Amino acid sequence: MTDFKRKRVVITGVGAITPIGNTPAQYWEGLVSGHNGIGEITLFDTSGHDCRIAGEVKNFDPHDYLDRKEAKRMDRFSQFGVSAAIQALTDAQLVINELNAEQVGVMIGTGIGGIKVLEDQQKIYLSRGPDRCSPFMIPMMIPNMAAGLTAIHTGAKGPNSCSVTACAAGSNAIGEAFRLIQGGYAQAMICGGTEAAITPLSIAGFTAARTLSLRNDDPSHASRPFDRDRNGFVMGEGAGILILEELQHALSRGIRIYAEIVGYGMTCDAYHITSPVPGGEGAARAIQLALKDGGLTPEQVTYINAHGTSTSVNDPTETAAMKKALGEHAYKVAISSTKSMTGHLLGGSGGIEAVATALAISNHQIPPTINLENPDPECDLDYVPNFSRVLDVEVALSNSFGFGGHNVTLAFKKYLW
């Protein structure tokens, strides 16, 4: 695709259901105030589990958005995704009807999908037999269903798909939605990521992989990206959704624009099933590709919402990648990991972090990296420690990296006509 044919793409709506707030306004207030959403797991009995902490969504009632019959036939990850999509559409004042339905699409990623339904139905299968399994088990657990149900609920008949690229899934969904609008295949896209994997089997599996923090006695300080005392990531849950629109379509509606999305970089390490390639070469290329795609130089970058998982492998590797991609300018960029407050939403993380990045641009403020008390010597950039910072953000990046070596960077700009 040549540059002169590309359509400009802007963000006109946001939705967020997170461990620190169940609306975009609550989420943003939680971010800039440095609110911690990590605590003891209440969704199941953690007896026998080494890890007993997570970033749970609190006080979420799906019936605020869905009728009881609809909600009952959805796994929690789909409830989050559809509800955040409804928020975003309302925020964008975008009404889907018979005139535009075929030009509005949905791309919602997830890393795990309906694992709670799978676990619950497995118990029924073992205790009561195969004929007692729910006829809704499959459509509740398959990963594409958040995207499918969002379309069913909203009437969006345009392009519809689901990325399942582990912790890069939400960002991949946004990037692919961006491409579809750029290429003229849709006028608007509902896109982002959702996850609800705080379940017994999921927590056991990630614990066995030695990736989770076991700081059960001090959950509020468990997620500490770029800090030398980190000891693993903290699982989170929730959903983040953007409404992307072709610029002229948005202008014709006279709607507020949060930011412009201008670049999408996607690479693979081709190295290891869980570990990033040493030195961050694959992640650096994703950053460089996003900048090139957006016609940007490293020196234009103001802010990066880092992947920042609070693991001994990711944090120094991502730091190296940012240095490799941005050169000396990396030391002048404000960088923060909002996972320090929300935990790691896996496939949902790219969604809520894109929302955070768009809001940082529109509100001229950078969320902090909380719990950064003793910086890792290998992590020597400006991670906006502990307190938010007022800053005019011209260009921002959002990084997401997933098991399997998936690397995604999204590039955003302040909207200027």
Active site amino acids? 167, 307, 344
Please enumerate in sequence order all residues whose Cβ is within 8 A of that of 209, keeping only pairs 6 or more positions apart, or say none.
Answer: 274
Detail the DSSP E strand segments found in 196-336.
238-246, 259-268, 303-305, 334-336
**Neighbouring-strand partners of residue 268:** 406
C-alpha span between 51 and 217 (Å, rounded): 10
Cα end-to-end span (Å), the chain = 23
Reduce the DSSP state of residue 401 to 3 states and report it. Answer: strand
- For 327, the 3-state DSSP assignment is helix
- Structure-token match 């992947």, residue found: 307
On whether the CB atoms of residues 160 and 189 are closer than 8 A, the answer is no
Q: Are 167 and 400 in contact (CB under 8 A)?
A: yes
What residue has token string 């998936």? 406
Residue 129: burial class (beta carbons within 10 Å; 0-12, 13-18, 19+): exposed
- Tokens (6 digits) for 398: 């959002």
Q: Transcribe 194-206 into DSSP letters.
A: EE---SHHHHHHH
Alpha carbon of residue 53 to chain centroid: 20
